[in-house]
A and B are shown apart, each in its own frame.
Chain A
Amino acid sequence: MSLRTPLGKVLGSGSAGEGTTHWWVQRVTAIALIPLTLWFAVSILRKPLQSHEAMSGWLGHPWVAVFTILLAITLAWHSWLGVQVVIEDYVHAKGAKTGLLLLSTFVHFAAAVAAVFAVVILAVS
């Protein structure tokens, strides 16, 4: 049982009922992505990219795998929220808007799962 009044529950939440959550998660993921992307870029740019052995060995290292998975999930989440806002702002036809939002959700989840799965495979093989 909640002690909050019905009015108190809805004030400031807007019509979607989620308040500032979308805005806030976009900032949290943005801040997390600063060190994650910097680390990944600085690391991978010093690797011999053509060598399967060197690249799979590097990404399979436990800590590298953990931070690459964090990077993939955070990037997918931030991107999902951002693309959602872009679609909502510029696509006004209801059918096209709903279709694109669904497509964006599916693509982001598929890419995130593929990235995580690939890193797990590299880490355990």
Chain B
Amino acid sequence: MSQRPLSPHLGVYKFTYTMSLSILHRVTGVATTVGFVTFAWWLMALASGPEAYAAAMRCLSSPLAKLLLVGFTFSFVYHFCNGIRHLVWDTGRGLERAQARRSGALVIVAAVLLTALVVWLGCAALASGAP
């Protein structure tokens, strides 16, 4: 019973780069979950009043927190773009090997460019409105 092969038994396949995009979808999804919990914490700080919000924003301004925010941003943006790729696949389109490789490359480029854009706009938003 315990000797049965369990999915996903990935060791039997030859490695292709689209496989790393697939595992990255799961990794970025889990990272976005941590981002969502952070978002809920930030909303609670906002609802708790000006002092709690100022403390939360100080916490989010540390170098480590900023690095995490960039990570959350890339994770969300990648999961968003690749998620649309998955939804297109669900309609039965784009499943040929060459198409899947092309859409994968498109997702990587879009994710990197959108992450840069959001980080740039986010830095400006984070710097404004200081009391």
Query: A80 vs B37: C-alpha distance in the bound complex, in angstroms?
Result: 12
Count of B interface residues, CB-CB < 8 Å: 39
Closest chain-B Cβ to A12's Cβ sits at a distance in Å of 18
B residues within 8 A CB of A4? none
Query: A2 vs B45: C-alpha distance in the bound complex, in angstroms?
Result: 51
Q: Are B129 and A49 in contact (CB under 8 A)?
A: yes
Interface of A is mostly: helix
Interface of B is mostly: helix
Closest chain-B Cβ to A54's Cβ sits at a distance in Å of 6
Query: A25 vs B127: C-alpha distance in the bound complex, in angstroms?
Result: 38
Among A27, A47, A89, point to the contact of B90 (Cβ < 8 A): A27
B residues within 8 A CB of A31? 87
Contact A122-B46, Cβ < 8 Å, known A45-B122, A52-B53, A79-B36 = yes
B residues near A (Cβ < 8 Å) are 6-8, 26, 29-30, 32-33, 36-37, 39-41, 43-44, 46-47, 49-50, 53-54, 57, 76, 80, 83-84, 86-87, 90, 118, 121-122, 125-131
A–B pairs, 18, beta carbons within 8 Å: A30-B83, A31-B87, A37-B80, A48-B125, A49-B129, A50-B128, A50-B130, A52-B46, A75-B36, A76-B36, A79-B29, A82-B26, A111-B40, A114-B40, A115-B43, A117-B44, A118-B44, A119-B47
